[in-house]
Structure 1
Amino acid sequence: MITEKQKMLAGQYYDPSDAELTELRYQARLATEKFNRTSAHQREERAEIIKSLFGSTGNSLHIESTFNCDYGGNIHVGENFYANFNCVILDVAEVRIGDNCFIAPQVGIYTATHPLDPIQRVNGIEYGKAITIGDNCWIGGHATINPGVTLGNNVVVASGAVVTKSFADNVVIGGNPAKVIKKIPLSM
């Protein structure tokens, strides 16, 4: 029999009130609560909390408080990752972020979504769509990355953008909904 967690990770409708999922979210809340209470002087301890919470990380990462997520274990970040104040990652599906990525303050990365049908939605079921962010990306302040989005390498997301669809490499995107503002020429 397939578990609610397996359904969730497969992008199927699942019941978030399932006991296993409730416990996993509780453990993530405890870890982020501990992280958010640690002093900026405790850089190594802060990094270790995040490394134990996330599914995988590079060696070099820095996240400012406050940080919040649903599960943590579905978040994978590459080398040289930085997230500024008040980052929220709802990771009911996998979130993969490449190397050398920088996230500005108040960014939301949301894999969680709900049925459009109001009867299904009221019954409490939900589902998720994975998000992938390539290498060398910069996500501007107050940007929102919606479920199912893939961003290529070297993408810059303007402050306040609402990203509802995927974009290829080497572009600056912005607006609501986000669109290409310009292409980024690569220096030789």
Structure 2
Amino acid sequence: MMPSELEKMRAGDWYTCLDPELEMMRVAALDAVYAHNQLAPSDRRSLSTPLARLFGSHGRNCLVEAPFHCSYGFNTHLGDDVFLNVGCVILDSAPVHIGSGTLCGPGVQIYCATHHTNISKRRAGVENARSVHIGQNVWLGGNVIVLPGVSIGDGAIVGAGSVVTRDIAAGAKVAGNPARPL
């Protein structure tokens, strides 16, 4: 029996994102994200019920400001005391782990999907996805972009506007496009 597109996505293989099952999952995530984004600010002071049910896992005292967006939600895992500032986007076609005490500035974007380089396959929705791991007590400045497959070590600081294209060691301070040690 052929694996489903979801099974291929979870295995890190090439899959088509235009699959009806994946579309249903994205719509469920969009509904939960919409519900979260419509909450009064005082009701977002702790992780809201819509996102709590959507995320793969989350710790205590997480705060996700609105607007927020994610593709699936079930692949997003937050430790304790994680803060996602306004405008954060997590395209979680693969697991995204964000460690306890991590702060994400406004407009941080975390990408897992890579589209196919062949034009006809790309137009057909063929992509693959790689996990992103962000350690504990990391600070991602505003508008940081984290690309697929990247790991960021505990205590690292990524300067605002940086594009993280490769792994960052624990305790490192990086900035730029691509992000480089300071």
Aligned length: 181
Q: CA deviation at 1:122?
A: 2.4
Q: CA deviation at 1:46?
A: 5.0
Q: Find the counterpart in structure 1 of residue 84 from structure 2.
A: 83
Task: Confirm whether residue 26 of structure 1 aligns to residue 27 of structure 2.
Answer: yes
For residues 38-187 of structure 1, the aligned pairs below 5 Å read 38-43=39-44, 47-181=48-182
How far, CA to CA, are the matches of 1:30 and 1:98 in structure 2?
Answer: 26
Where structure 1 has 5 or more consecutive residues not aligned to the other structure, the ranges are 182-188
Where structure 2 has 5 or more consecutive residues not aligned to the other structure, the ranges are none
Q: Find the counterpart in structure 2 of residue 3 from structure 1.
A: 4
With normalisation by structure 1, the TM-score equals: 0.93
How far, CA to CA, are the matches of 1:36 and 1:97 in structure 2?
Answer: 20
How far, CA to CA, are the matches of 1:47 and 1:28 in structure 2?
Answer: 14
Q: CA deviation at 1:120?
A: 2.2
Q: CA deviation at 1:31?
A: 0.4
Q: Residue 15 of structure 2: SS of its match in structure 1?
A: coil
Q: Residue 94 of structure 2: SS of its match in structure 1?
A: coil
Post-superposition Cα deviations, 1:138-167, rounded to whole Å, max 9, x if no partner, equal 000011000010011101010000000111
With normalisation by structure 2, the TM-score equals: 0.96
Q: Which amino acid aligns with 2:140?
A: I
